[in-house]
Amino acid sequence: MSTNYKIIKAEFLNADTFKLTVQSEKISQKARPGQMVHIKCGDEGGVLLRRPISICSVDREKGTFDIVIQIRGKGTKILSKYRAGDMIDILGPLGQGFSIYPKHKKIIVIGGGIGIFPLLQLLKDHPAENKKAILGFRNKSCVILEEEFRKECNELLISTDDGSYGEKGFVTDILKKELDKEPADMLFFCGPLPMMKLGVGIANEYNIPCEVSMEQRMGCGIGACLTCVCKTKNGDDWEYTQVCKRGPVFSGDKVIFE
């Protein structure tokens, strides 16, 4: 059921990215890392569809959850105007989140751009004793949530495309170097498609299971309209699968990247 929830905090993290803390007993209790919510932006300017946004972190005691949103177009622009005290129409939590295997001792999460958000709660919830995060940003001014991530993992590696902060280069290059030093039990990717495609290739090369969180334009958000599909393996054949319902998180060996 879509419900109006109260925003208890709204703040900008940098010039175009903001965080909303929302009061919801239901979502904070039910949400698993990697799941998303589907948000109505309001009827302004003929914006009809909801926007899919990952749950970034939850506070199960306070009954709140955080979402972090980058302004991209009309809908996210409208959402950026919400303030503490406003009500927001949210459907969720939706979809399949990341798999947490308690026997895994060492995990690495790899995120790029807006793909880093769902990885924060994953780090919080995962019981592994050795957790590493590799996060990629365009440049120094895009780097956000650094402290939040540092708190939840043993080691945080940051890279920027232009080298203005952390290492220069791709997160997948850093990942390879790390895996050469020490293997991992599982890898989790969320970010641009080319990054995830490379990532799954690396996971296969090192023979490590991995999961990827897919992005696709969506309609209903619950599995009924078949607009949000990605290509997945189906035995010897393939099929189009709803990202909103069967994903957004898929096993890395299930998705067919083209």
Partner 1 sequence: MRGNINLKVNIGGLELKNPVIAASGCFGFGREYSRFFDLNRLGGIAVKGLTLLPRKGNPPPRIAETPSGILNSVGLQNPGVHAFIEKEIPFLRKFDTSIIVNASGSTVEEYEKMVEILSDADVDAIELNLSCPNVKEGCLSFGSSPHRVREVVSRVKKYAKKPLIVKLSPNVTDIAEIAKAAEEAGADSVSLINTILGMAINAKTRRPILGNVTGGLSGPAIKPVALRMVYEVSKAVSIPVIGMGGITNGTDAVEFFLAGATAVMIGTAGFANPMVWVETIEVIEAYMAENSVNSVTDLIGGLIV
Ligand X SMILES: Cc1cc2nc3c(=O)[nH]c(=O)nc-3n(C[C@H](O)[C@H](O)[C@H](O)COP(=O)(O)OP(=O)(O)OC[C@H]3O[C@@H](n4cnc5c(N)ncnc54)[C@H](O)[C@@H]3O)c2cc1C
Ligand Y SMILES: Cc1cc2nc3c(=O)[nH]c(=O)nc-3n(C[C@H](O)[C@H](O)[C@H](O)COP(=O)(O)O)c2cc1C
Of 51 and 246, the one with the shorter C-beta distance to ligand X is: 51
Size of site (CB under 8 A) for partner 1:
30
Stretch that binds ligand X, among 49-57, 58-66, 142-150, 233-241 (CB under 6 A): 49-57
Place of tokens 């956000």: 144
How far the first Cα of the chain sits from its last, in Å, is: 35
User: Given candidates 8, 13, 49, 193, which one binds partner 1 under the rule CB under 8 A?
Assistant: 49
Which residue intervals of 12-126 are DSSP H helices? 25-30, 74-79, 117-125
Side chain identity at residue 80, one-letter code: S
Angle, vertex CA 105, rays to CA 103 and CA 109, nearest 5:
110
Residues 63-122 binding ligand X (CB under 6 A) are 68-70, 72-76, 114, 117
Give the nearest distance from C-beta 230 to ligand Y in angstroms.
16
Binding partner of 183, given ligand FES, ligand Y, partner 1, none, CB within 5-8 angstroms per partner class: none
For position 256 contacting ligand Y by CB under 6 A, the verdict is no
| 172 contact partners, CB below 8 Å, separation of at least 6 | 110, 195, 198, 199, 202
For position 48 contacting ligand Y by CB under 6 A, the verdict is no
Tokens standing for 223?
Answer: 């599995």
- CA 121 from chain centre, in angstroms, equals 9
Of 22 and 218, the one with the shorter C-beta distance to ligand Y is: 218
CA distance 173 to 82: 38
Residues 211-230 binding ligand Y (CB under 6 A) are 219, 225, 227
For position 181 contacting ligand X by CB under 6 A, the verdict is no
- Closest residue by Cα to residue 155 from 175, 140, 173: 175
| C-beta separation of 213 from 249 below 8 A | yes
- Closest residue by Cα to residue 119 from 70, 164, 152, 75: 152
Residues 206-235 binding partner 1 (CB under 8 A) are 216-231
| C-beta separation of 238 from 231 below 8 A | yes
Give the nearest distance from C-beta 59 to ligand X in angstroms.
17
For position 53 contacting ligand X by CB under 6 A, the verdict is yes
Binding partner of 76, given ligand Y, ligand X, partner 1, none, CB within 5-8 angstroms per partner class: ligand X
Binding partner of 215, given ligand X, partner 1, ligand FES, none, CB within 5-8 angstroms per partner class: ligand X
CA distance 197 to 206: 15
Partners of 249 in beta bridges:
213
For position 87 contacting partner 1 by CB under 8 A, the verdict is no
* Contact positions vs ligand X (CB under 6 A): 36, 49, 51-54, 68-70, 72-76, 114, 117, 215-217, 248
* Contact positions vs ligand Y (CB under 6 A): 219, 225, 227
* Contact positions vs partner 1 (CB under 8 A): 1-2, 40, 45-50, 91, 216-231, 238-240, 245
